[in-house]
Amino acid sequence: MRHALLALLSDGPSYGWKLRQDFEARTGEVWPVNGQVYTTLQRLERDGLIESDEAEADGAQRRFQLTGDGREELGRWLQTPPALGVPQREDLVIKVMVALGLTGVDVRALLQVHRRYLVEVMREYTRVTDASPGDVNLAMVADAEVFRLDAQVRWLDSVEARLVESGLQLQPAADTSLRVLPHRRAKIGGPR
Amino acid sequence: MSVLELRSVSRSYGQGASKVAALSDVSMAVEAGELVAVMGSSGSGKSTLLTIAGTLEEASEGEVLIDGVAVATLSLDGRAALRRRRVGYVFQDFNLLSGLTAVENVAIPLELDGQARTSAHAAAMAVLDKLGLTALAGRFPDELSGGERQRTAIARAVVGERRLLLADEPTGALDSLNGEAVLRLLRQACRDGVAGVFVTHDGRLASRADRIIYLRDGHIIDESPAMLGPESLLTNDPRP
């Protein structure tokens, strides 16, 4: 958020309330920010990256502008690639890898629970973007989330394919206490 | 009455020890106006499901009903007529005839079914209009982009009195935005009263359906219910 606020101020001075509004609009209102904008503005001012001429007013009513240091910091940040070279601690990966080492876990059912959840979240984003067809910012931010989720679904698919290919035990042993997917009959459809 | 209903459908190939089950005890129903995604990996049985639903292949066991008519009770000619009149297909590679314009491609199923050229043409123009594709009517397939070709194929699949639209990885050859546009058009076609089923391995595309059925090793293992309204984002956590 720090650098997004610097970017917004690079167009010229702006009030706290306006910066909050613009931030939400530019990110398609996907990430609600609450009071975080004003706290971040305070920190940016403390660090000398922005300045304000109305120290008495509260964050929403103060008018902020970029300093020279702030403009330099923004340029540096835009050109610095995100730190993706190091594997992230990914909750889903950890859960699946732990499950693979446990007895009594139906791994394919577990993969399906996560797959279904991820696809459901994708459906939510699809719904929201379809409901606002002209909102390009929303579509781009939602796309980022959908592609991230899609990568996880693909990873689950590849885990399953690798397990099948390697002939590893996929079904639970006799103890099914950790079975995660309730048994469903195939009777699906009909009036909703 | 459902447009498509599969009742305990199984399909196997080979016999004895070499018998392979492609579909096992699959039951599902699809209503008019609904777009259903069948999601599964390669070998899950999703293409078999589609060819059986489209009467291109027979079930080894169970019943397939289209508009309430049990397909097994029809003669081969009756089945072919049902296919021509009621079922439309969309393939990954479009399958448009290169020597015909878009509108001629859309009209051809009707002409093959004995409809006069002028009325088939008028019906084809009507469906292109309805789907917002009027501008493509006079163009030949090689003058259309991949997305435009697939949109034309969708018009062809719903022209006339088609009730069931079946699509096999319909966006497989398209980039992300064109794929999205094709899925949107599929949904629009379904909203106009057609029942749609598409199979895909792609969760992103499946997420655009009204309902998702998950297939694995020939079995339905799970399904996602019909979609809620857009206000549910970040307020309804879909975690189980």
Domain span including residue B194: 4-226
CB B110 within 8 A of CB B132: no
Position B65, amino acid: L
Cα–Cα distance for residue pair B68/B52, rounded to 1 Å? 16
Average pLDDT, chain A: 80
Q: Do B27 and A115 touch (CB under 8 A)?
A: no
Please indicate, yes or no, if residue B235 is contained in any of the structural domains. no
Of the candidates B27, B184, B230, which has its C-beta nearest A187's C-beta? Answer: B27
The side-by-side arrangement of strands in the sheet containing A50-52 is: A14-15, A63-66, A50-52
Average pLDDT, chain B: 89
Q: Do B207 and A188 touch (CB under 8 A)?
A: no
Nearest to A153 by CA among A192, A124, A112, A101: A112
Nearest to A17 by CA among A76, A59, A71: A59
CB B233 within 8 A of CB A145: no
Please indicate, yes or no, if residue B102 is contained in any of the structural domains. yes
User: Mean pLDDT throughout B1-21?
Assistant: 91
Strand A63-66 versus strand A50-52 pairing type:
antiparallel
Which residues in chain B have their CB less than 8 angstroms from residue A115's CB?
A: 203, 214
Position B161, amino acid: E
Least confident segment among A73-82, B65-74, B137-146: A73-82
Closest Cα in chain B to A149: B204
Closest Cα in chain B to A187: B27
**What ipTM was estimated for this complex?**
0.81
- Residues 6 or more apart whose CB falls under 8 angstroms from that of A144 comprise none
Which comes out higher in pLDDT, residue A23 or A44? A44
- Residue-level pLDDT at B27: 97
DSSP secondary structure string, chain B?
--SEEEEEEEEEES-GGG-EEEEEEEEEEE-TT-EEEEE--TTSSHHHHHHHHTTSS--SEEEEEETTEEGGGS-HHHHHHHHHHHEEEE-TT----TTS-HHHHHHHHHHHTT--HHHHHHHHHHHHHHTT-GGGTT--GGGS-HHHHHHHHHHHHHSTT--EEEEESTTTTS-HHHHHHHHHHHHHHHHTT-EEEEEES-HHHHTTSSEEEEEETTEEEEEE-----GGGTTTS----
Of the candidates B26, B208, B225, which has its C-beta nearest A126's C-beta? Answer: B208
Position A103, amino acid: T
CA A50 to chain B, closest CA, distance in angstroms equals 32
pLDDT beyond 50 at B29: yes
Please indicate, yes or no, if residue B205 is contained in any of the structural domains. yes
Cα–Cα distance for residue pair A44/A52, rounded to 1 Å? 11
Neighbours of B79 (CB within 10 A): 18
Which residues in chain A have their CB less than 8 angstroms from residue B25's CB?
A: 186
The side-by-side arrangement of strands in the sheet containing B35-39 is: B87-90, B164-168, B195-200, B35-39, B211-216, B219-224
- Residue-level pLDDT at A181: 46
Which residues in chain A have their CB less than 8 angstroms from residue B240's CB?
A: 113, 116-117
Please indicate, yes or no, if residue B238 is contained in any of the structural domains. no
Which residues in chain A have their CB less than 8 angstroms from residue B220's CB?
A: 184, 186, 188
User: Mean pLDDT throughout A159-169?
Assistant: 84
| CATH code for the domain in which residue B219 is found | 3.40.50.300
pLDDT tens readout for residues A15-34: 888 888 888 777 766 666 66
- Residue-level pLDDT at A29: 63
CB B5 within 8 A of CB B26: no
How many separate domains does chain B show? Answer: 1
Please indicate, yes or no, if residue B140 is contained in any of the structural domains. yes
Least confident segment among A52-56, A69-73, B101-105, B137-141: A52-56
Of the candidates A131, A150, A189, which has its C-beta nearest B204's C-beta? Answer: A150
- Residue-level pLDDT at A91: 86
- Residue-level pLDDT at B146: 87
Q: Is A65 helix (H, G, I), strand (E, B) or coil?
A: strand
B70–chain A Cβ distance below 8 A for any pair: no
Q: Which of A107, A127, A162, A183 to mutate to test the interface with B (most CBs of B within 10 A)?
A: A127
% of chain B at pLDDT higher than 90: 61
pLDDT tens readout for residues B77-118: 999 999 988 999 988 877 899 999 999 999 999 998 889 999
- Residue-level pLDDT at A178: 47
- Residue-level pLDDT at A192: 35
Please indicate, yes or no, if residue B240 is contained in any of the structural domains. no
Q: Which of A24, A136, A185, A188 to mutate to test the interface with B (most CBs of B within 10 A)?
A: A188
Please indicate, yes or no, if residue B237 is contained in any of the structural domains. no
CA B64 to chain A, closest CA, distance in angstroms equals 14
